[in-house]
Amino acid sequence: MIVVEPATARYESAEGAPANEEHLLERISALENRLGRLTAKLDRGLDLLLRQAQNSHFDRALVKALVGLLTDDGLIQGERLERLWVVRCQKDAEAQLESERREELRLKILVHYQGQESIAFEQCLNEGFLFIDDEQPGRGIRSLQRAAEIARDNAPLLYFLGEHFFKAGKTKRAQSYLARAYELSPGDRRVSLLLGLTYADRGDTERARTLLTSATRLGGSTFAAHYGLGRLFVVEEKWRQALHEFKLALASKASPEAHYALGCLYYQMCRDALAARHLRKALEMDETYGEAFYVLGLISERAGQKELAQEYFEKAGHGAVVRKTAPAKNKRQNSGAALSAPLFRQSLANSRGLITGGDRRLAEALRRDALSACSLASSDGGR
């Protein structure tokens, strides 16, 4: 096949080439111009960052010099100030993380709502979280409670309210919300853990045992769950089972409270050498643990070491403790109370107040551990 090309075609292509080249050159010039402006902005931003870094360095140097001067004059304690500063930074970081967690939860609650009153529900929900962020938790929780009345099947909202009341130590109100959340999400180990602890605190041992066991099987092998199960066995005076759970609690989290609980249990079982060992470990971790000193005094007293027992009692903060021996006719009546460790006396007499009653320090440690475990579970979807 023969292709015939007009003679004028060669001149048209020759003329079109310079036009295309000029267009490309214009685009390249425009890109170079924009790149130059971007580079200039980056230079100015970098310069600003460097200046801020220098100012921060000078400010820190000034503060350190001022702290050193005040420390030398004896007006402040440098180490104490440093510790307070670290604690404050940690609190600010925790507050920021908590705020981000609440925002994620707010969006999750909105996604779960399927009702017809979406405008009223969203208004109450947003209002509640805004009040909480504005450090008005009372008004915020009341708004969220109104939202929960609109959406009675919103499990994330019910759990949040239950967790709030659990944190505040209001176990009865926490239980009402957590029970509704458990009906909707029985596989959520956060709900199982907190609800189990509230049932245990109010004396419902059967439900508490089921829920706490479920929390451990779902991956919630926490100090709180195992300690709670151990306390339930203490109420029933099943000392071997209680010992097993307390050991698991210590394995989950080595803490002064865990060692103290084991020490009390060994004292209860008349295994004083092991009890003293765990109580001394608790004091190694916290030398101000007065309750541990007190149980060591009871151990020494039972061994007939009166002077050593009195020394431990004084270290416990009880001062000059005068312990009267019961009359012979009452010794049998008082033998059980005498052998009962201080941690278990309330639970043996009354199963109510098992978690938040009695030993305040251990109850607070238990509450913190449970809430910490729930926070970690939140990042895994609560399962």
Distance, in Å, from the CA atom of 369 to the CA atom of 250, rounded to the nearest integer, reads: 12
Q: How confident is the model at residue 27, as a pLDDT?
A: 83
Burial class (CB in 10 A: 0-12, 13-18, 19+), 92: exposed
Average of per-residue pLDDT across 365-376? 83
Reduced to 3 states (helix: H, G, I; strand: E, B; else coil), residue 320 is coil
The whole-number pLDDT of residue 289 equals 92
pLDDT band at 12 (very low <50, low <70, confident <90, very high): low
Taking only the tens place, the pLDDT of each residue in 149-162 is 999 899 999 999 99
Question: pTM score, two decimals?
Answer: 0.70
CA distances, 254 to each of 92, 259, 292, 365 (Å): 27, 7, 15, 12
Per-residue pLDDT tens over the stretch 99-126:
888 889 899 999 888 888 889 999 999 9
Among residues 255, 266, 327, which one has the least CA distance to residue 299? 266
Domains belonging to the chain, first-starting first, are 97-186 (1.25.40.10)
Q: Which residue has the tokens 């230079």?
A: 43
For range 71-94, the mean pLDDT: 80
Q: Please give the average per-residue pLDDT across 133-161, as a whole number.
A: 92
Mean pLDDT of 321-349: 52
Average confidence (pLDDT) over 170-195: 91
Which of 50-54, 209-213, 347-351 is predicted most confidently?
Answer: 209-213
Q: Indicate whether 293 pLDDT > 90.
A: yes
CB 126 within 8 Å of CB 115? no
Burial class, 73, CB count within 10 angstroms (exposed 0-12 / middle 13-18 / buried 19+): exposed
